[in-house]
């Protein structure tokens, strides 16, 4: 499949590099100044597990024209930017399949305002990373011999079609595990339900995930916020899609919360998977949180802890620190 990765952030560069290494016909779309940097240096990623530097001269373009032809376009931007490029994608009738990867709450609806249903898929990349100084660091596996991360994808009606299978095989050829979700909309909503409080807690501590790990009271607030978000999704009707891991927020005794999540958040792997990523998601997080709050209001649910934790994203770091001292 001739593939375009639309977006040269951490996930876009990681996916383009892995597909290129596997011999796939892949092109990465980047804009200046990122385009100039990638044209000069190539895609360079530091393996968060081993410290190895991986580099490749992935083919680049700086725009998508109305006559360009791709079998698959993978859009790897933050949500507000994914929506912004929909009109550009809509002007090209030659794009066969468009996979939007990333956090989402509204599901397919916002994309279908611009694009035909038959072209659109949603998904999520199960890897983490971000910038550490000048280095792009990505954690895409738990051990050196493991598979290279995972991707969750799904159709609007949950049916696994030939194209879904072919897209899965494309990623699997690069060593990436693929999960075909029958309800990708529900999966993404539950992912947001714990991702948002995680990122907000990290930002409340000035981007320091290990500081979250060492603050039992903040971990209690974090778990309570996740339960509130989960309660909203249950009320809306997504209880059947609740992932098993989410039960921790309901079943774990309060005294065990700091031990379990303190250990999780204190690991080096989590610092790359969650910490680096959380420091860059502020605008996207607030946009999605507003959508989630609207959904909660429609079913008459209140989420006071969730709302309070997300407010730390809106406040400047100095104001957050003053509140903690007070």
Burial readout 251-279 (b: 16 or more C-beta within 10 A, e: otherwise): eeeeeebbeebbebbeeeebbbbbbbbbb
Paired strand residues for 292: none
What does the pLDDT read at residue 23?
A: 96
What does the pLDDT read at residue 319?
A: 44
CB under 8 Å to 262, separation ≥6 — which residues? 213, 214, 216, 219
Take residue 308 and report the two structure tokens written for it: 């309070």
Q: What is the mean pLDDT of each run of 10 residues along the chain (326 residues)?
A: 95 95 97 94 90 94 96 94 94 97 92 95 88 85 69 94 96 94 93 92 88 96 96 87 83 96 84 70 84 94 95 62 36
Phi, psi of 145 (to 5 degrees): -100, 5
What does the pLDDT read at residue 246?
A: 86
What does the pLDDT read at residue 139?
A: 80
Phi, psi of 294 (to 5 degrees): -60, -40
Strand (E) or helix (H) holding 207 = none
Which CA distances in Å does 24 have to 74, 171, 287, 294?
14, 9, 34, 41
Nearest to 75 by CA among 17, 8, 156: 8
What does the pLDDT read at residue 208?
A: 87
Count CB-CB contacts under 10 A for residue 316: 8
Burial label for 37, CB within 10 Å (0-12, 13-18, 19+), is middle
The three-state secondary structure class of 263 is: helix
| pTM score, whole prediction | 0.90
Report the C-alpha gap between 246 and 140 in whole angstroms: 22
Paired strand residues for 5: 28, 74
């Amino acid at each position: 499949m001739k593939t375009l990765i639309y977006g040269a952030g951490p996930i876009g560069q990681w996916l383009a590099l892995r597909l290129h290494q596997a011999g796939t016909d892949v092109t990465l779309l980047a804009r200046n100044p990122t385009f100039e940097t990638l044209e000069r240096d190539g895609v360079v990623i530091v393996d968060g597990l081993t410290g190895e530097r991986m580099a490749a001269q992935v083919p680049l373009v700086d725009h998508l024209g109305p006559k360009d032809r791709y079998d698959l376009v993978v859009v790897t931007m933050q949500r507000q930017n994914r929506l912004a490029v929909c009109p550009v994608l809509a002007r090209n009738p030659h794009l066969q399949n468009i996979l939007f990867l990333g956090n989402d709450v509204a599901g397919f609806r916002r994309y279908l305002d611009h694009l035909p249903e038959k072209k659109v898929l949603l998904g999520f990349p199960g890897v983490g990373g971000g910038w550490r100084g000048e280095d792009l660091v990505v954690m895409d596996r738990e051990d050196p011999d493991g598979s290279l991360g995972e991707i969750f994808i799904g159709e609007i009606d949950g049916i696994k079609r030939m194209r879904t299978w072919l897209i899965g095989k494309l990623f699997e050829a690069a060593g990436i595990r693929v999960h075909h979700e029958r309800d990708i909309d529900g999966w993404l909503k539950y992912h947001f339900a714990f991702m948002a409080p995680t990122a907000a807690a990290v930002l409340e501590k000035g981007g320091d995930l290990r500081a979250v790990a060492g603050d039992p009271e903040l971990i209690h607030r974090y778990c309570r916020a996740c339960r509130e978000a989960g309660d909203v999704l249950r009320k809306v009707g997504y209880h059947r899609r609740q992932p098993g891991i989410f039960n921790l927020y309901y079943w774990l005794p309060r005294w065990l919360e700091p031990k379990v999540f303190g250990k999780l958040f204190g690991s080096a792997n989590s610092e790359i998977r969650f910490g680096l990523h959380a420091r860059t998601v502020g605008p996207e997080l607030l946009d999605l949180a507003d959508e989630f709050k609207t959904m909660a209001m429609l079913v008459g649910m209140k989420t006071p802890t969730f709302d309070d934790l997300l407010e730390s994203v809106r406040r400047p770091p100095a104001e957050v620190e003053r509140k903690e001292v007070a």
